[in-house]
Amino acid sequence: MSWTLAELAKHVDAEIRGDADCIIDGVATLSSASSSKISFLANSKYRKFLSHCQAGAVLVTEADAAAVEGNALVVKDPYVAYAKIASFLFPAKTVVAGVHPTAWLDPRSHVHDSAQIGAHVFIDADVTIAENVEIGPGCVIQQGVTIGAGSRLVANVTLCHGVSIGHRVILHPGVVIGADGFGIANDNGRWINVPQLGSVEIGDDVEIGANTTIDRGAIENTVIGHGVKLDNQIQVGHNCRIGNNTVIAGCVGIAGSTLIGADCAIGGGAGLGGHLSIADGVQLTGMTMVTKSITEAGVYSSGIPAEPTKQWHKNVVRYRQMESLHQRVRELEQLLNNQD
Protein backbone atom coordinates (compact mmCIF):
# COMPACT_ATOMS: atom_id res chain seq x y z
CA MET A 1 0.00 0.00 0.00
CA SER A 2 1.16 3.50 -0.74
CA TRP A 3 -0.11 7.06 -0.62
CA THR A 4 0.76 10.42 -2.14
CA LEU A 5 2.25 13.07 0.07
CA ALA A 6 -0.91 15.10 -0.54
CA GLU A 7 -3.05 12.36 1.01
CA LEU A 8 -0.82 12.14 4.08
CA ALA A 9 -0.65 15.92 4.43
CA LYS A 10 -4.43 16.05 4.51
CA HIS A 11 -4.49 13.39 7.20
CA VAL A 12 -2.43 15.55 9.57
CA ASP A 13 -3.39 18.99 8.35
CA ALA A 14 0.13 19.74 7.11
CA GLU A 15 1.44 22.29 4.65
CA ILE A 16 3.34 20.68 1.76
CA ARG A 17 6.70 22.08 0.68
CA GLY A 18 7.73 20.27 -2.46
CA ASP A 19 6.22 17.50 -4.56
CA ALA A 20 2.65 16.71 -3.45
CA ASP A 21 2.59 13.64 -5.72
CA CYS A 22 5.59 11.96 -4.10
CA ILE A 23 4.67 8.36 -3.27
CA ILE A 24 5.11 7.21 0.35
CA ASP A 25 4.87 3.58 1.44
CA GLY A 26 6.42 3.58 4.89
CA VAL A 27 8.26 5.38 7.67
CA ALA A 28 11.95 5.59 8.50
CA THR A 29 14.46 7.48 10.59
CA LEU A 30 16.17 10.53 9.10
CA SER A 31 19.47 8.72 8.76
CA SER A 32 18.17 5.57 7.06
CA ALA A 33 15.17 6.74 5.02
CA SER A 34 14.91 5.96 1.32
CA SER A 35 12.90 7.96 -1.19
CA SER A 36 9.54 6.28 -0.54
CA LYS A 37 9.63 6.78 3.22
CA ILE A 38 8.41 9.61 5.38
CA SER A 39 10.51 10.68 8.35
CA PHE A 40 10.29 13.35 11.05
CA LEU A 41 12.42 15.69 13.13
CA ALA A 42 11.22 15.96 16.73
CA ASN A 43 14.46 15.98 18.74
CA SER A 44 17.06 18.63 17.93
CA LYS A 45 19.81 16.04 18.54
CA TYR A 46 18.95 14.58 15.18
CA ARG A 47 18.86 17.83 13.15
CA LYS A 48 22.33 17.02 11.82
CA PHE A 49 20.79 14.18 9.80
CA LEU A 50 18.55 16.57 7.81
CA SER A 51 21.27 17.58 5.39
CA HIS A 52 21.90 14.11 3.95
CA CYS A 53 18.41 12.76 4.46
CA GLN A 54 17.10 10.70 1.51
CA ALA A 55 13.49 10.54 2.73
CA GLY A 56 10.60 11.15 0.36
CA ALA A 57 9.37 13.69 2.88
CA VAL A 58 10.17 14.94 6.35
CA LEU A 59 7.68 16.14 8.97
CA VAL A 60 9.09 19.33 10.52
CA THR A 61 8.06 22.51 12.25
CA GLU A 62 8.09 25.78 10.36
CA ALA A 63 11.37 26.64 12.10
CA ASP A 64 13.14 23.60 10.64
CA ALA A 65 11.46 23.59 7.22
CA ALA A 66 14.18 25.59 5.49
CA ALA A 67 16.81 22.99 6.43
CA VAL A 68 14.97 20.19 4.62
CA GLU A 69 16.53 19.58 1.21
CA GLY A 70 13.72 17.41 -0.22
CA ASN A 71 9.99 17.49 0.41
CA ALA A 72 8.69 18.72 3.75
CA LEU A 73 5.38 18.48 5.55
CA VAL A 74 5.20 21.47 7.88
CA VAL A 75 3.21 20.84 11.04
CA LYS A 76 2.92 22.24 14.54
CA ASP A 77 4.13 19.06 16.25
CA PRO A 78 6.10 16.67 14.01
CA TYR A 79 6.02 13.83 16.56
CA VAL A 80 2.23 13.93 16.89
CA ALA A 81 1.90 14.12 13.11
CA TYR A 82 4.31 11.20 12.71
CA ALA A 83 2.28 9.15 15.22
CA LYS A 84 -0.89 9.78 13.25
CA ILE A 85 0.68 8.96 9.90
CA ALA A 86 2.34 5.82 11.23
CA SER A 87 -1.00 4.68 12.70
CA PHE A 88 -2.64 5.37 9.38
CA LEU A 89 -0.01 3.49 7.36
CA PHE A 90 0.21 0.59 9.83
CA PRO A 91 -3.14 0.17 11.54
CA ALA A 92 -3.26 -2.10 14.61
CA LYS A 93 -4.34 -5.63 13.79
CA THR A 94 -8.02 -6.25 14.29
CA VAL A 95 -9.51 -8.57 16.87
CA VAL A 96 -10.51 -11.98 15.50
CA ALA A 97 -13.53 -13.24 17.45
CA GLY A 98 -13.22 -16.69 18.93
CA VAL A 99 -11.93 -18.80 21.78
CA HIS A 100 -8.75 -20.84 21.33
CA PRO A 101 -9.34 -24.56 21.89
CA THR A 102 -6.81 -24.64 24.75
CA ALA A 103 -8.38 -21.72 26.65
CA TRP A 104 -10.55 -22.43 29.68
CA LEU A 105 -13.58 -20.25 30.38
CA ASP A 106 -15.53 -20.82 33.56
CA PRO A 107 -19.19 -21.37 32.61
CA ARG A 108 -20.14 -18.56 35.01
CA SER A 109 -17.98 -16.03 33.11
CA HIS A 110 -19.44 -13.55 30.62
CA VAL A 111 -17.29 -13.22 27.54
CA HIS A 112 -18.62 -11.19 24.63
CA ASP A 113 -18.91 -13.07 21.34
CA SER A 114 -16.67 -10.56 19.60
CA ALA A 115 -13.78 -11.16 22.00
CA GLN A 116 -10.61 -13.01 21.02
CA ILE A 117 -9.41 -15.44 23.70
CA GLY A 118 -5.93 -16.89 23.16
CA ALA A 119 -4.21 -20.16 23.90
CA HIS A 120 -3.93 -21.43 27.48
CA VAL A 121 -5.97 -18.52 28.82
CA PHE A 122 -7.83 -19.07 32.10
CA ILE A 123 -10.97 -17.07 32.83
CA ASP A 124 -12.59 -17.65 36.20
CA ALA A 125 -16.17 -17.26 37.40
CA ASP A 126 -17.97 -13.91 37.38
CA VAL A 127 -15.53 -12.39 34.92
CA THR A 128 -17.05 -9.96 32.41
CA ILE A 129 -15.28 -9.29 29.13
CA ALA A 130 -16.77 -6.70 26.80
CA GLU A 131 -16.82 -6.49 23.00
CA ASN A 132 -13.66 -6.52 20.90
CA VAL A 133 -11.40 -7.42 23.80
CA GLU A 134 -8.29 -9.46 23.01
CA ILE A 135 -6.94 -11.74 25.72
CA GLY A 136 -3.57 -13.02 24.50
CA PRO A 137 -1.99 -16.41 25.22
CA GLY A 138 -1.25 -17.43 28.80
CA CYS A 139 -3.30 -14.74 30.53
CA VAL A 140 -4.92 -15.51 33.89
CA ILE A 141 -8.12 -13.62 34.68
CA GLN A 142 -9.28 -14.35 38.20
CA GLN A 143 -12.73 -14.22 39.71
CA GLY A 144 -14.91 -11.16 39.31
CA VAL A 145 -12.64 -9.20 36.94
CA THR A 146 -14.26 -6.83 34.42
CA ILE A 147 -12.58 -5.70 31.19
CA GLY A 148 -13.98 -2.87 29.08
CA ALA A 149 -14.51 -2.82 25.34
CA GLY A 150 -11.56 -2.74 22.99
CA SER A 151 -8.95 -3.60 25.62
CA ARG A 152 -6.00 -5.81 24.80
CA LEU A 153 -3.96 -8.09 27.06
CA VAL A 154 -0.96 -9.06 24.95
CA ALA A 155 0.20 -12.25 26.70
CA ASN A 156 0.95 -13.77 30.12
CA VAL A 157 -0.89 -10.98 31.96
CA THR A 158 -2.33 -11.74 35.43
CA LEU A 159 -5.43 -9.94 36.69
CA CYS A 160 -6.25 -10.88 40.28
CA HIS A 161 -9.80 -11.19 41.62
CA GLY A 162 -12.15 -8.28 41.30
CA VAL A 163 -9.89 -5.97 39.31
CA SER A 164 -11.65 -3.54 36.96
CA ILE A 165 -10.13 -2.56 33.60
CA GLY A 166 -11.51 0.32 31.50
CA HIS A 167 -12.03 0.66 27.76
CA ARG A 168 -9.23 0.54 25.18
CA VAL A 169 -6.65 -0.43 27.78
CA ILE A 170 -3.42 -2.15 26.64
CA LEU A 171 -1.62 -4.46 29.07
CA HIS A 172 1.75 -5.77 27.94
CA PRO A 173 3.22 -9.19 28.80
CA GLY A 174 4.00 -9.95 32.42
CA VAL A 175 1.78 -7.23 33.87
CA VAL A 176 0.30 -8.15 37.27
CA ILE A 177 -2.67 -6.15 38.51
CA GLY A 178 -4.27 -6.68 41.88
CA ALA A 179 -1.69 -8.71 43.77
CA ASP A 180 -1.92 -8.20 47.52
CA GLY A 181 -0.39 -4.96 48.73
CA PHE A 182 2.57 -5.10 51.11
CA GLY A 183 0.53 -4.95 54.30
CA ILE A 184 2.19 -6.39 57.37
CA ALA A 185 1.97 -5.56 61.06
CA ASN A 186 4.55 -6.49 63.67
CA ASP A 187 2.91 -8.51 66.41
CA ASN A 188 5.60 -8.82 69.06
CA GLY A 189 8.42 -9.54 66.63
CA ARG A 190 6.37 -11.69 64.28
CA TRP A 191 5.01 -10.16 61.07
CA ILE A 192 1.32 -10.84 60.48
CA ASN A 193 -0.56 -10.21 57.28
CA VAL A 194 -3.01 -7.36 56.95
CA PRO A 195 -5.77 -8.58 54.60
CA GLN A 196 -5.82 -6.58 51.39
CA LEU A 197 -9.55 -6.02 50.91
CA GLY A 198 -9.59 -3.32 48.24
CA SER A 199 -9.16 -3.85 44.51
CA VAL A 200 -7.68 -1.98 41.53
CA GLU A 201 -9.53 0.28 39.08
CA ILE A 202 -7.86 1.06 35.76
CA GLY A 203 -9.43 3.90 33.74
CA ASP A 204 -9.97 4.15 29.99
CA ASP A 205 -7.17 4.50 27.42
CA VAL A 206 -4.51 3.36 29.87
CA GLU A 207 -1.39 1.54 28.66
CA ILE A 208 0.74 -0.49 31.05
CA GLY A 209 4.20 -1.78 30.12
CA ALA A 210 5.74 -5.22 30.43
CA ASN A 211 6.25 -6.64 33.94
CA THR A 212 4.70 -3.61 35.66
CA THR A 213 2.86 -4.43 38.90
CA ILE A 214 -0.06 -2.59 40.52
CA ASP A 215 -1.15 -3.79 43.94
CA ARG A 216 -4.72 -3.97 45.21
CA GLY A 217 -5.78 -1.54 47.94
CA ALA A 218 -5.76 -2.46 51.61
CA ILE A 219 -9.30 -1.20 52.23
CA GLU A 220 -10.24 1.10 49.35
CA ASN A 221 -9.10 0.65 45.75
CA THR A 222 -5.86 1.53 44.06
CA VAL A 223 -6.91 3.80 41.18
CA ILE A 224 -5.24 4.54 37.83
CA GLY A 225 -6.93 7.45 36.03
CA HIS A 226 -7.95 7.74 32.39
CA GLY A 227 -5.24 8.16 29.78
CA VAL A 228 -2.42 7.18 32.13
CA LYS A 229 0.62 5.66 30.39
CA LEU A 230 2.93 3.44 32.42
CA ASP A 231 6.16 2.07 31.00
CA ASN A 232 7.79 -1.28 31.91
CA GLN A 233 8.78 -2.60 35.34
CA ILE A 234 6.96 0.05 37.37
CA GLN A 235 5.75 -0.81 40.87
CA VAL A 236 2.60 0.93 42.15
CA GLY A 237 1.92 0.21 45.82
CA HIS A 238 -1.47 -0.35 47.43
CA ASN A 239 -3.91 2.55 47.79
CA CYS A 240 -2.07 4.77 45.32
CA ARG A 241 -4.08 7.00 43.02
CA ILE A 242 -2.65 8.28 39.76
CA GLY A 243 -4.43 11.19 38.07
CA ASN A 244 -5.60 11.37 34.47
CA ASN A 245 -3.04 11.59 31.67
CA THR A 246 -0.04 11.17 33.92
CA VAL A 247 2.89 9.35 32.24
CA ILE A 248 5.50 7.35 34.09
CA ALA A 249 8.71 5.98 32.58
CA GLY A 250 10.25 2.60 33.33
CA CYS A 251 11.52 1.25 36.65
CA VAL A 252 9.71 3.81 38.82
CA GLY A 253 8.68 2.66 42.30
CA ILE A 254 5.74 4.27 44.10
CA ALA A 255 5.23 3.25 47.71
CA GLY A 256 1.78 2.71 49.16
CA SER A 257 -0.94 5.33 49.69
CA THR A 258 0.78 7.97 47.57
CA LEU A 259 -1.44 10.22 45.47
CA ILE A 260 -0.12 11.49 42.15
CA GLY A 261 -1.94 14.29 40.36
CA ALA A 262 -3.06 14.59 36.75
CA ASP A 263 -0.77 15.49 33.86
CA CYS A 264 2.41 14.57 35.71
CA ALA A 265 5.49 13.18 33.96
CA ILE A 266 7.76 10.97 36.04
CA GLY A 267 11.20 10.04 34.73
CA GLY A 268 12.63 6.54 34.71
CA GLY A 269 13.92 5.02 37.91
CA ALA A 270 12.37 7.67 40.16
CA GLY A 271 11.28 6.57 43.63
CA LEU A 272 8.38 8.01 45.61
CA GLY A 273 7.90 7.35 49.31
CA GLY A 274 4.58 6.32 50.81
CA HIS A 275 1.69 8.49 51.99
CA LEU A 276 2.80 11.45 49.84
CA SER A 277 0.76 13.78 47.69
CA ILE A 278 2.09 15.02 44.34
CA ALA A 279 0.32 17.99 42.74
CA ASP A 280 -1.03 18.08 39.18
CA GLY A 281 1.54 18.95 36.54
CA VAL A 282 4.62 17.85 38.45
CA GLN A 283 7.57 16.58 36.42
CA LEU A 284 10.35 14.50 37.93
CA THR A 285 13.61 13.90 36.09
CA GLY A 286 15.03 10.38 36.00
CA MET A 287 16.08 8.68 39.26
CA THR A 288 14.63 11.47 41.42
CA MET A 289 14.04 10.50 45.05
CA VAL A 290 10.88 11.97 46.53
CA THR A 291 10.53 11.82 50.30
CA LYS A 292 8.05 14.66 50.86
CA SER A 293 4.84 15.77 49.23
CA ILE A 294 5.13 18.20 46.32
CA THR A 295 2.42 20.83 46.41
CA GLU A 296 3.21 22.88 43.31
CA ALA A 297 3.49 22.08 39.61
CA GLY A 298 7.03 22.31 38.25
CA VAL A 299 10.11 20.27 37.50
CA TYR A 300 11.93 18.51 40.34
CA SER A 301 15.16 16.53 40.42
CA SER A 302 17.70 14.82 42.58
CA GLY A 303 20.77 12.67 42.22
CA ILE A 304 24.28 13.54 41.15
CA PRO A 305 25.23 12.40 37.64
CA ALA A 306 28.11 10.06 36.87
CA GLU A 307 31.73 11.18 36.95
CA PRO A 308 35.02 9.31 36.61
CA THR A 309 35.31 7.02 39.63
CA LYS A 310 38.49 8.69 40.92
CA GLN A 311 36.74 12.06 41.14
CA TRP A 312 33.66 10.42 42.59
CA HIS A 313 35.75 8.98 45.44
CA LYS A 314 37.21 12.42 46.19
CA ASN A 315 33.84 14.13 46.06
CA VAL A 316 32.27 11.59 48.40
CA VAL A 317 35.08 12.23 50.89
CA ARG A 318 34.53 15.99 50.58
CA TYR A 319 30.78 15.48 50.99
CA ARG A 320 31.34 13.78 54.31
CA GLN A 321 33.59 16.67 55.41
CA MET A 322 30.99 19.37 54.79
CA GLU A 323 30.14 19.68 58.46
CA SER A 324 33.76 20.35 59.41
CA LEU A 325 34.19 22.70 56.46
CA HIS A 326 31.28 24.76 57.72
CA GLN A 327 32.91 24.80 61.14
CA ARG A 328 36.21 26.00 59.64
CA VAL A 329 34.48 28.78 57.71
CA ARG A 330 32.65 29.84 60.86
CA GLU A 331 35.97 30.03 62.71
CA LEU A 332 37.50 32.11 59.96
CA GLU A 333 34.55 34.48 60.11
CA GLN A 334 34.88 34.84 63.88
CA LEU A 335 38.61 35.41 63.61
CA LEU A 336 38.09 38.16 61.07
CA ASN A 337 35.27 39.71 63.04
CA ASN A 338 37.55 39.86 66.09
CA GLN A 339 40.24 41.55 64.03
CA ASP A 340 37.91 44.36 63.03
Q: Does 334 bind a copy of itself (CB under 8 A)?
A: no
Calculate the alpha carbon distances from 36 to 70, 225, 231, 314 in Å.
Answer: 12, 40, 32, 55
Which range, of 13-21, 47-55, 58-66, 231-239, touches a copy of itself by CB under 8 A? 231-239
- CA 78 – CA 82 distance, rounded (Å): 6
Residue type, 312: W
Q: Does 170 bind a copy of itself (CB under 8 A)?
A: yes
Q: Between 20 and 120, whose beta carbon lies closer to a copy of itself?
A: 120
Question: Which residue out of 120, 172, 238, 313 is catalytically annotated?
Answer: 238
Q: Does 241 bind a copy of itself (CB under 8 A)?
A: no
* Residue 243 CA, distance from chain mean position: 13
Q: Minimum distance between the CB of residue 242 and a copy of itself, rounded to whole angstroms?
A: 13
Task: Kindly tell me which residue out of 136, 148, 243, 261 binds a copy of itself, with binding defined by CB under 8 A.
Answer: 136
User: Among positive and negative, which fits the CA dihedral 9, 10, 16, 22?
Assistant: positive
Residue list 23-62, contact with a copy of itself (CB under 8 A): 27-29, 32, 43, 45
Task: Kindly tell me which residue out of 71, 132, 142, 222 binds a copy of itself, with binding defined by CB under 8 A.
Answer: 142
Q: Between 199 and 288, whose beta carbon lies closer to a copy of itself?
A: 288
Task: Kindly tell me which residue out of 211, 259, 280, 281 binds a copy of itself, with binding defined by CB under 8 A.
Answer: 211
Rg (C-alpha) for the chain, rounded Å, is 26
Q: Between 66 and 90, whose beta carbon lies closer to a copy of itself?
A: 90
161 is catalytic: no
> Residue 108 contacts by C-beta under 8 Å, 6 or more apart in sequence?
125, 126
User: Among 134, 141, 135, 138, which residue's Cα sits nearest to residue 164?
Assistant: 141
Total number of residues binding a copy of itself (CB under 8 A)? 125
Which range, of 3-11, 17-25, 54-62, 204-212, touches a copy of itself by CB under 8 A? 204-212
Query: How long a stretch of residues is the chain?
Result: 340
Task: Kindly tell me which residue out of 10, 23, 79, 295 binds a copy of itself, with binding defined by CB under 8 A.
Answer: 79
Task: Kindly tell me which residue out of 51, 102, 108, 295 binds a copy of itself, with binding defined by CB under 8 A.
Answer: 102
Q: Between 23 and 325, whose beta carbon lies closer to a copy of itself?
A: 325
Q: Between 21 and 276, whose beta carbon lies closer to a copy of itself?
A: 276
* ∠ Cα 50 53 59 (to 5°): 65
Q: Minimum distance between the CB of residue 108 and a copy of itself, rounded to whole angstroms?
A: 14
User: Among 281, 279, 214, which residue's Cα sits nearest to residue 245?
Assistant: 281
- CA 67 – CA 79 distance, rounded (Å): 17
- Which residues are registered as beta bridge partners of 145? none
User: Among 213, 296, 218, which residue's Cα sits nearest to residue 257?
Assistant: 218
Q: Which residues are catalytic?
A: 238
